[in-house]
Amino acid sequence: MKVLVFGAGAWGTTTAIHLARKGARVVLWVYENDLAHEMVEVGENRRYLPGFPIPKEVVITHDPVGEFDVIVNAVPTQYIRPTWIDWRGKLAGNAPVVSLSKGIEIGSGLRPTEVLGQVLGQERGLGVLTGPCIAIEIAKGLPTAAVLAGKAVAKFQPLFNSNLFRVYTSDDLVGAELSGAVKNIMGIAAGIVDGLELGDNAKAALLTRAVVEVARLGVAFGAQPETFNGLAGFGDLLTTCVSPHGRNRSFGERLGRGESVEEILNSRASVTEGVPTTKAVMEMAKKKGIEMPITEVIYRIVFDGLDPRSGVNALMTRTLRPE
């Protein structure tokens, strides 16, 4: 099977490595032309996934051509639309697309597969691969379980599944994508808890209330409640909030230690999806009249300059109610 992995961040590169290990013929599209040349020369992605050799079978390119059986979208959410508008007429065929992106498009409030559907057409067959998937652990070959949700899961499941990467399926595309988006906001919150050294009780309370908040939003948009207790929901949330590798958690930790949003973002090569997602989700919640207190506090910290400790106090002093 010939697969195009579109995007060479840590997750896209890891996916290319994983699929090549399984025997797929993989083409990895790299946005930065200089990075593509460097990756070909040194045989690894030193910018986003250093230390992990890319199999020689993976074709690394800035200009993919030909027809593919499956396309994997690994472009960050806010760049999906402009990137694919530019590329949609350059690739032959009508291959189904599985998305790795986690976020909500600012302005439209659309999920990644909704953006892809608008740009590429719904007839392709669109799905999402999501769950607790820390790229570096998958690259190391550590056991991982994930979820494929959408219409094309029958084709995608055997492609991705292995004895070290177990893949479940779901028909709840809405719940899977909203879980993957909102957990990044909660990852920022978890990082603030760590940065302020608030302890394990606070982290546990945050995780528990975060599940409630994510599910409240998801169900309002047509998701299945049980999704938020599974791998796409709680599983991904847990990993994001505790892993030292999580970009959103580390962003929040640095906020809690007193750094500014601008300082942190300017020091990073990778996208911190939780920042734009916070803005997009707040717009969605307001339109639906959904109460999302954790998200609202993170929005005030990131965009309005609220002191993180004051944000914690705002959450702890809300009106008392039953759980």
Q: What are the beta bridge partners of residue 14?
A: none
Report the phi/psi class of residue 258: left, alpha or beta, with left for phi > 0 and alpha for psi in -120 to 50: left
Query: Which residue shows structure tokens 């990756």?
Result: 39
Q: Tell me if 85 sits within 8 A of 119, measured CB to CB.
A: yes
52 SS3 class: strand
Task: Quote the strand ranges of 105-253, DSSP E.
Answer: 126-130, 144-150, 165-170
286 is catalytic: no
Residue 175, φ and ψ in degrees, nearest 5: -65, -40
Rounded distance between C-alpha atoms, residue 12 and residue 118, angstroms: 22
Q: Both tokens of residue 316?
A: 């702890």
Q: Both tokens of residue 207?
A: 């995780």
The residue from 22, 140, 155, 183 that is catalytic is 183
Q: Tell me if 174 sits within 8 A of 154, measured CB to CB.
A: no
Rounded distance between C-alpha atoms, residue 257 and residue 255, angstroms: 5
Q: Tell me if 54 sits within 8 A of 13, measured CB to CB.
A: yes
Write b or e for each residue in 246-258: b if 16 or more Cβ atoms lie within 10 A of its Cβ, otherwise e.
bbbbbbbbbbbee
311 SS3 class: helix
Question: What's 105's DSSP letter?
Answer: -
The residues annotated with a catalytic role in the active site are 183
